Structures are given as C-alpha cells and as structure tokens.
A and B are shown apart, each in its own frame.
Chain A
Amino acid sequence: MAEVLAPRAGFVLRRPGLALAALVLLLVLAWALVPDLFTHYDPLSGVPREKLHGPSAAHLFGTDETGRDVFARVVHGAALSLRAAVSAVLIALVAGSVLGLVAGARGGWLDAVLMRVMDVLLAVPPILLSLALVTGLGFGTTKVAIAVGVANVANFARLMRAEVLRVRAGVYVEAARAGGVRWFDVLTRHILPNAAGPVLVLGVLTFGTAVLEISALSFLGYGAAPPTPEWGSLVAGGRSYLASAWWMTTLPGLVIAAVVLSANRISRALEGERA
C-alpha cells in the first residue's frame, strides 16, 4: 500500500480524512508490533484493588473487573485482532480468487456449478453462515477468522470471475492467445495484474467488515480463548458491566469503529485511484 501512496504525498495531503485514516491504521499497526512503547501496564494481570476505575490520566480507558488497564488490553489486543481480520481477508481472498479464476477460465459446467455454490453462499446472510461454521469449528480467534473468511469467499470469487471474463474478452488477450502464448502466461501477464486492483480494493473493504463480523461473533459468545485481549471479546466482555462501567464497552468500541472507518476510507481512495 505504501508504494501506491508514497509518490502522491500531495494527493494525500489535500485529503485530510485520508491522511487521518492512514495515520490510524499505522498507529494500530504499531500497537500490534511494539505494544510496550504505548503502555507500561500488563494486559493480562491487573491490580484487583483498582478494579472498575473510570478513565483517568493513569488509566486512559479505565480499568476492568479484575483491575486490568483497558487501554493496555486494547493496545496488546491489536496484534491478535489484526491477525484475525487479516487472516479472514486472506482466506476469503485466496480461496475466492482461485475459485473465481478457475470458474472464469474453464467456463462450462464447472463455472455453472461453482457459481451456483457461490449463489448459495450469498443467499445465506454471512452472519448465519459464520455462526453455523464457528459452532462447528469451535471457539477461538483463528476459528472465528476462518468462519468469517469462508463467509466472504463468494464476493471475491464473483469479482475475480468477472475480471477474468472482462480481460479474456479484451482484444490484447485474444491476440496473445492467437499468437500462441500459453494460458498460464496469459494468466500471469494479463489477467492477474488487471485483477489485482479491484481485488485489493475489495480486500481492504473486507478487512473492515471482517473486524466488525469478528467482533459480532465475539459478542454472540464465540470469542478468543481467555485471557487474550482480542478487541471483539473486549467489547463483548465489557457489556456485562454496561450499567456500572460504560468505558469497558464504549472505548474499545470506538477503536474498532475508527479502524473500520479508516479501512473503508482507504478502500474508497484506492477505488477512486483506479477509476
């Protein structure tokens, strides 16, 4: 992403919203990589005497029911939350692209069958699909990520197939094929580079929805294995304390919203770039 945006510093600077979005994602990435730079509290064990304190200078986001610093848990949870969302996107992207590629390239009955399967996946709302999958796979962040990833496969498959069909119809591909270029080379030289853009846009967009879907599944009771501070389970866990400790849900919830908003903003910018 950096190389896409770097030569266009001016472009970014003229869009403060976009700059802010990039900043948010960079900050969260930094949390994931070097959490200790941002907080000196232990995210796993707290001081029981200081439980359920509201936000203050000492505890930016307050403390939770066992006296752990909520901000520390958000910062340390970044790594796992990002990994979960990114794996969900990767699963959807890779599996979806391969299926779409095969369907579009082969055509015929295989295309018809694959696309009907994708229709079914689209017909069942993703949350229902994830719900059923996650009950089967069991609890835990990786499994939730797989469930969310699978539920999003169909979007990528359809997009990739459409790109393949579009590129295939292109004059230059026909020319290449006629010139005796092998199918594999057509794929790597023409189809993939052309499809990369739209797939990337959808990928960034799906990253946002994946964060939301993972947090929704955590809310419904299929979260990260304890005591890991994953964002979705942080908001979900805090809701038991809604009446007495609003900060436990509200503040991590705002962090999630900021990350999703930033991902969407960047996705739109990338799309605009292409258009």
Chain B
Amino acid sequence: MTSYVLRRVAQALVVLWAAFTLSFVILYLLPGDAVLAKLGGGEASATVTPEQIAQARAEYGLNDPWPVQYGKRLLAALHGDFGRSIATGDTATHMVLSALPPTLAIAGLGLVLAIVFGGGAALAGTYTRAKWLANLLLSLPPLGISLPVFWVGLVLIQIFSFQLRVLPALGNQGPQSLILPAITLALPTGAVIGQVLAKSLRTQLAEPYIETVWAKGAGRGRVHFGHALRNAAIPVLTMIGVVAGQLLAGSVVTETVFSRDGVGRVTTAAVNGQDIPVVQAVIVLAAFFFVVINLAVDLVYPLLDPRVRQNPAARTRKELVHG
C-alpha cells in the first residue's frame, strides 16, 4: 500500500512538472510577449520606442535565452514563487490565491446545486413510475449539457436582473450575488452528474442482488435509496476530478459574464496579456487540484468498494481500460 501511494505521488509530481513546462512552452512560443502586450494595450502603443521595449524586456528578464528563463522560473516555482505579473506588478502567487476565494464560493455553491439538480433529476427520473415524467426528468441532464454556459448566464441576467430586478447582475458583494453565477455553473455540472448517476442507477437496479433485496421484502424506497443509490454513487464519486475541472473551466466564462473577480478572470486576462508567470501559476494550480482530488479518490475508493479493497492497483488498471 505504501509503495502504491508513493508511486502515485511521484506520478502526480511528474504531471505537475509537465503542466508547468507545457504552459511555459505554449506561452514562450507565442508571437509577441508580455512586454509588447502591456505596451500595446493602451494609448502608449503609439508612442513607444524600440529602445523602451528593449529596456523593459531586459528588466523583466525576457532577453535571456529560453533555457535560462525556464530554469530560473522552475527553480523559483519549486519555492512557490511564480514571479511577478508583468501586467499588474503583483506577485503571480498572490494574484491567484486572492482570486481563489470568490471562485471557490461560486464553485462550491455550484457543486451543491449541481448535486441537487443532477442527483434529483436522476433519482426522481428512475424512481417514478409515470413514464412521461421519467422521460421528462431524464431528458433534463442532456439538455443541460447542450446549453452554452455564457448564453445561460446572459439569459439569466436578462430575466432575473434586468426584467424582474430581483438579483444583481454583477459584482462580488453579498450572498445574493452568488446565486446567478452558481446556477450558471451548476447547470452543465449537474447535467454530467445526473447523466452518470441515472445510468449507473439503472445498471444497479438491473443487478441480481436487487432481486434478493426485493425478495427480502424491502420497500421500493429502501431498494432505491438504500441499496441501489449506495452502489450507484461510486462511479459519480470517481468523476469528482472531472467535475472540479469543469467548475474551474466554467468559472472562466461565468466570471466574465457576471463581472466577478476570480481565477477565471485572472486567467483570461493573463492569457491575453501573455503574462507567463500568472498563466503558469493558474495552470499549475488547476493541475494540482486535479491531481490531489484524483489521488484522494483513488485512496478513498477501496474503502467504499469492497471488490477493490484487496488490491488497489487493480482499480487503476480497470480505470485505464474502461475510463
């Protein structure tokens, strides 16, 4: 078990390093650089001279050959220092960390709503005996996946902020400013959860052990919620890494639509400005979450699923084949 954990941690570190390198390569290869983006962004673009550009590049160390730049960045990153943002002058680590709470707030509420929406639709859809209702409920998750996120956000703003005037369209203030962004984020995420849960519920309900439970005289609710759900929830749990990634990705668009601060906004601005330090900090953070969550799921999984408890490596192989 210990060697398994160590191996997984080592793999995780490799993924983090690769994410760091990948982001450096992409941004380094782009035409132009952060200095040009900064100088070209405002009124200064007209009057800036080549000497100024050269001087600014030297100041930010952009004149170094790429192995030197890469080496310096990697060394600093090992100490948690991703360097200073060229656009804002703030440290990249501080920018990303201070943008994290507002993103976690909408992502957290979004996740809760997603579980309520998605789980609710899947459970009710498989529980009900009315065929039309089941069809209706089970068609909701595919619909949720099909809607462009930014479009949902704009429509919600149009209805609840501009027409009904019950919720604010913008800003980070107060709990009510969380509601619309969280719903926007929850729709696609809830849809994924709903789809997976509905499918695995149906699979579980068709399993032989359910027959046994029926035979023991259990009620419909007990069969459904007590036995089938417990087992059906496991595949959903393994998807939590995907879901987290989806929430982060959704926040890029949602935060722009709702004029909120957060990791998504920081990211788009940094990518547009080719602000390598900030983009690297974000990508490594995203990869970090992904890796940690997956690691946690892998370690918790054996505790939930007795079949895997004996041999954790078996699951990993199974995952690779069927995932």
Contact = CB atoms under 8 A, between A and B. Distances in A.
A250 B27 CA distance: 35
A124 interface: yes
B313 to A, nearest CB: 15
Interface of B: 11, 14-15, 18-19, 22-23, 26-27, 29-31, 139, 142-143, 145-151, 154-155, 157-158, 162, 245-246, 248-249, 252-253, 256, 267-268, 271-272, 274, 279, 282-283, 286-287, 290-291, 320-323
Contacts of A119: 11, 15, 18
A216 to B, nearest CB: 6
Pick the most buried of B18, B27, B146, B162: most chain A CB atoms within 10 A of its CB.
B146
Given A236-B150, A261-B146, 14 more contacts: A123-B286, A123-B290, A128-B267, A128-B282, A131-B267, A135-B30, A158-B320, A162-B321, A216-B253, A220-B253, A235-B148, A243-B162, A249-B151, A257-B146
Nearest to B282: A128
A68 interface: no
Q: Is the interface of A mostly helix, strand, loop or mixed?
A: helix
Contacts of B149: 212, 216
A10 interface: no
A186 interface: no
Given A128-B252, A133-B26, A116 B246 contact: no
A125 B15 contact: no
A140 B323 CA distance: 33
A120 interface: yes
Q: Is the interface of B mostly helix, strand, loop or mixed?
A: helix
A250 B29 CA distance: 38
Interface of A: 17, 115-117, 119-120, 122-128, 131-133, 135-136, 138, 158, 161-162, 165-166, 208, 212, 215-216, 219-221, 235-236, 239, 242-243, 246, 249-250, 253, 256-258, 260-261, 264-265, 268
A257 B268 contact: no
A268 B138 CA distance: 13
Pick the most buried of A208, A236, A260: most chain B CB atoms within 10 A of its CB.
A260
13 contacts: A120-B15, A123-B290, A124-B23, A126-B249, A127-B253, A128-B282, A131-B271, A208-B146, A212-B149, A216-B150, A235-B150, A256-B148, A261-B143
Contacts of B271: 131-132, 135
Contact of B23 (A132, A221, A246): A132
